[in-house]
Chains A and B, each alone.
Chain A
Amino acid sequence: MAKPKIGIYGLTGCGGDQLMILNLENELLDLLRNVEIVAFQEASSVQQDEEVDIAFVEGSVSTELDLERLKDVRKRSRMLIAIGDCAIGGCVQAMRNQEMTMKEKMEEVYGKGEEYFKVLEPYGLSKYVNVDLELQGCPIETTEIRQVFLSLLHGDTPEIKDYPVCVECKLNEYQCLLVDKGMPCLGPIIAAGCNARCPGLGIDCVGCRGPIMNETNAAEELHTLLEKGYDERYIENRLRFFGANFEGILKLSKMLREKTGGARGK
């Protein structure tokens, strides 16, 4: 059987997900014996625009060029896998979506009165094309990439975690940072898969794996944190870091905005 052809591509992001693939290090060399890499932007000058069996795409769609490249990759790939939060919900660069206009962001960074250049409000891939699988994380975990590679090589569908970080926290018997220590932990609404890394280090979950798909009870999280004494704006920012493009959080954010009159940061 011919080796499956793999393409690894990056749109707008920090390059960290491609780096996590390289971070498989010696294991990567073993994996590569079983596949043929036809593009790996961060690691190779080979960029063949040919059909691939599996395309891994990191980064958000933030420019017209990103969109053009994404559509091209989609057209010539049998399976398209979004790797990392940027490619799923836009990640931190999307945290002010629908809150600040792109023109406002532009003027903030670039200065008023300068020419305004066209950029897109950052979104994940699925806003524009059909995505076959989404691997959450900022960054993705090496254990998950390995598992996805192996599953696909064996013709299986990789398992995607649809339960919260809290489950992994409990399995590790960590003290609950939210209930016991009153820390602003987002564990209850964030997808597991990190083995509750941050709570294990005594740090409240910042939400870097993104909300659990279709099951984000952001209102209850807000309620709990308000009870713990955190103010609405602080909580809203926290929810937005990695979740601004998720429906539950967006709705909640809009509701808060109407209540507080809309001035940001106040």
Chain B
Amino acid sequence: MAREIVVEHLARVEGHGGIEVTIEGEEVKDVKMRISEGPRFFEAIIKGVKYDKVPDVMRRICGICTASHSLASIRTIEKAFKVEVTPRTAMLRDLLIHGEVIESHSLHLFLLALPDYLGYPDALSMMDKHAKEVKAAFQLKKTGNMVHNALSGREVHGMNDRVGGFSTMPKEEDLLSIKKAMEDSKAAAEDAVSLFASLDIPDCTHSENILMALDPGDRFGYLGDHVLISDGKRKRVEEYRELTNEEVVKHSHAKHSSYRGSSFMVGALSRVTLCKERLYGTANELFREHAEKLNPRNSLNNNLAQAIELVHCIDRCLEDIDALFNNGIEKEELAKIEPRKSSAIGAVEAPRGILYHDYSFDENGCITQANVITPTAMNSANMEKDFGVAVGRLVSERKENLESTLELIARAYDPCISCSAHLINVKFV
């Protein structure tokens, strides 16, 4: 007799999604990650909008990785119009994206993922017994948000990062407070690594994972123009269609991706695995210390990889702030833009993985075509693979245990469902 495991509404993730698994006897018949978030059709509505306000609309794809969408959008526009930005702008963007990763990872690790492992419905109810972790979460999250505030203008949908540079330079005193907050929270980030390394991670998802991450250059980071793949290949971001092969699946509003016929994984685990030689400082030491635990064949290790990135990001923000002070933070004019009929593809590593924006413009600089591929959409097929493997191994377990394991797996990917929803098919069982 067939039985169904249904996680109808996945809580503690951003957006609306569910999981359905059909089992016949001992065999997994069907696995579906349903993304039921309403589609918002950004690629359609943005057509006709002039480049200057395109990032203001596109960053609203996501509340959590808003700076990632901003930067992906801005970098794509600048590529299309061949705009060169100053080293100071590049440095500020590096600081902004590292700040965003701190905010997003601390939210995900402590407030969304950790409660599963400690047996709570949410982080707020952990206050009595785990005040230290909850306070660490808010301390780190606030530190990341300080970067958002000082550089982009606010925590969510900040607007100060523009095509061609930053409208206003961050204030010196704000950079100094960020520096202090970063120094004060480094211990909390290191504790996060110890905490996530100490958790008992089930190996039920253990299976082949193809990994992809942007090539950050010599040093670990989140911006780049090439994609590294675990099969040893390196591709230009312009080849993203061959790397993702997006196709519509009827059960989800997110399109699914594949590479050479297989699902693949993007995110922190892919980044630290593919770029481990480029980690440096404390993050590098911690990676070496936990290298065995960080087996990329177990997707659940994405949490530990994120914790290591937290430490990296804090050190990098401190470095960037020092460099900004050394090189001066006087106001610079935005780069001059000359729109032309053109197309370009840009990418950034959002906290949860590679994010591509692809635009075409007419001669006035108005969008004629847009395509956005988000990390959660890319990961959807791999999540389904992991659900199938896990249920296959745990098939004799009780229904509740299976359901909670599926939720554990989904959360480890840090899914951002709003971002991923292209299309809808509401058919709930």
Contact = CB atoms under 8 A, between A and B. Distances in A.
Nearest to A69: B16
Contacts of A110: 248, 422-423
A142 B149 CA distance: 12
Interface string A1-22: 0000000001111111111101
A64 B425 CA distance: 11
Contacts of A47: 9, 11
Nearest to A139: B156
Interface string B96-127: 00000000000100011001000001111101
Given A91-B60, A100-B44, A237 B49 contact: yes
Given A40-B122, A119-B424, A265-B48, A16 B156 contact: yes
A44 B45 contact: no
Contacts of B9: 47
Interface of A: 10-20, 22-23, 25-26, 28-29, 32, 37, 40-47, 59-60, 62-66, 91-93, 95-96, 100, 104-106, 108-111, 114-115, 117-120, 122, 138-139, 142, 197-198, 201-203, 206, 208, 233-234, 237-238, 241, 264-265
Contacts of B56: 206, 241
B82 interface: no
B157 interface: yes
A197 B155 CA distance: 12
A231 to B, nearest CB: 9
B426 A63 contact: yes
A37 B124 CA distance: 10
A203 B160 contact: yes
Nearest to B65: A14
Contact of A197 (B16, B57, B115, B153): B153
B37 to A, nearest CB: 6
Contacts of A20: 63, 155-156
B38 A92 contact: no
Nearest to A19: B63
Interface in B9-33: 9, 11-16
A198 B159 contact: yes
B206 interface: no
A96 B46 CA distance: 9
A22 B107 contact: yes
A32 B160 CA distance: 32
Contact of B63 (A16, A62, A65): A16
A11 B424 CA distance: 14
Q: Which of B12, B56, B122, B156 has its CB near the most chain A CB atoms (within 10 A)?
A: B156
Nearest to A39: B11
Nearest to A230: B50
Interface of B: 9, 11-16, 36-45, 47-50, 53, 56-57, 60-64, 66, 107, 111-112, 115, 121-125, 127, 134-135, 138, 141-142, 145, 153-157, 159-160, 162, 167-168, 248, 250, 366, 368, 416, 418, 422-426, 428
21 contacts: A10-B15, A12-B40, A13-B63, A14-B62, A15-B15, A17-B63, A29-B124, A45-B11, A45-B122, A47-B9, A63-B426, A64-B426, A65-B36, A96-B44, A105-B41, A108-B44, A109-B41, A110-B423, A117-B424, A118-B424, A139-B157
Contacts of A11: 38
A139 B45 CA distance: 20
A19 B12 contact: no
A10 to B, nearest CB: 8
A42 B168 contact: no
A63 B425 CA distance: 10
B160 A15 contact: no
A237 B41 contact: no
A233 B9 CA distance: 41
A19 B106 CA distance: 13
Contacts of B66: 14, 16
Contacts of B60: 14, 16, 91-92, 138
Contacts of A13: 63, 418
A12 B43 contact: no
A32 B126 CA distance: 13
B95 to A, nearest CB: 17
B45 A105 contact: yes
Which among A12, A37, A120 has the highest number of chain B CB atoms within 10 Å? A12
A42 B12 contact: yes
Given A93-B40, A265-B47, A201 B153 contact: yes
B159 A118 contact: no
Nearest to B135: A26
Given A28-B138, A198-B153, 15 more contacts: A13-B418, A14-B62, A14-B66, A22-B141, A44-B125, A45-B11, A46-B11, A46-B122, A93-B42, A100-B45, A105-B45, A110-B422, A142-B155, A237-B53, A265-B366
B67 to A, nearest CB: 12
B40 A23 contact: no
A42 B14 contact: yes
Contacts of B142: 25-26
Contacts of A122: 38, 40
Contacts of B42: 92-93
B424 A63 contact: yes
B36 A233 contact: no
B45 A138 contact: no
Contacts of A41: 11
Contacts of A109: 39, 41, 43-44, 422-423
Contact of B12 (A44, A92, A93, A139): A44
Given A23-B156, A25-B141, A197-B153, A264 B48 contact: yes
Contact of A118 (B12, B41, B127, B426): B426
